[in-house]
Structure 1
């Protein structure tokens, strides 16, 4: 016996609707009316409660905001437009060569951090901080400012959306034990993932020992990503959220001043 035949027999065995069911005095109508009238309606009907969907949060704890023992800040973009989906991003950065261009990028980053008004305790540090890194990846600019006692501030912005006044994400704070660093060591200050209007962004930045001349991260998705290393600092970032859980450990390749290389595990 075929499955089709089984289905046919099942359908034939079902109680067909009574053609007279529409008559109010039919047996079926009277039975339906009796069932309705005798149903207990005092108990409320059970309804399925739908849990509210949680809005996606920026990865702050254990990531950008947890800059060692420093208080830090992440400022997501609130704008649309610009370089959507990081289309212009490059794995290898380019330096901002012009003195005027670099000065404008640094001043804009400083002003943007000041405009947040959230961490006023760093106002003096921010005013005195000097530029350690100023790089470009496509239309995106990264600036790292450093000062005394382990202070640092970072801004990543989409230049095409108006320099540092829009489409910017960054961190600010002070790093403990900043002076206790071996010449071949790295110390992560910002490590994790945040979100902007263009999408998720992952970054790794911090302090580099005096013998460190290069840092690269081998992304399983985007390939080798090169950091800028300058004035005792390193910084790299890439589109996506693959560094979401990196605060517990991220392996990078380090190049030293004598040309040798090694592997270092970044963590917070």
Structure 2
């Protein structure tokens, strides 16, 4: 009986040594380092920083269609977006009807959401944060500026703004300037976001411009849970590289 036990133990030791030797060989192989690099890269994409493509001209001239931007996903860990931040967010149905998605594409998107490789949402947008929860926003001041909590914003990044001429075409004339909207108080866990290319941006206030005062049902919000992160750099093309 004891002899049988000794045979079992002695047989297991070569197997253990063989497995350990095989693991050491694999650990020193190119395949191991490639897999490790992919895992680390996937974790970085999923939790720290990720490149995105700019989908439209809404943020011109700050960002151009097709620009590759780097989004810092930990930017709002323990903090909130601020006025002036350029953010990427996954737009829900209030931003338009989403195209039908095949089962294969849905699976690939699910894989992307957990691995970091590929887009996380079916409809991803990039806009600039103008106001956050509880803040009151309107347009315009006497000189045509967006007003947040009674203070007009200085927005040198705006291009192609909508027409506004004090006394001739403003928020008190008939017709009103299409630049005008609000006032509106931003709901909880939401953000009012606008494009820098104000005359050609389907943003939070797009459906409300020129609408009657008091109608706030037309506003669309970037929800806190849908914000992927803050844009920190333009990566491509090389000639447009810049940090934010």
Higher RCO, 1 or 2 (CA under 8 Å, sep at least 6)?
Answer: 2
Q: TM (normalized to structure 2)?
A: 0.31
Q: Which has the higher strand share?
A: 1
Q: Which has the higher helix share?
A: 2
Greater CA radius of gyration, 1 or 2?
1
Q: TM (normalized to structure 1)?
A: 0.29
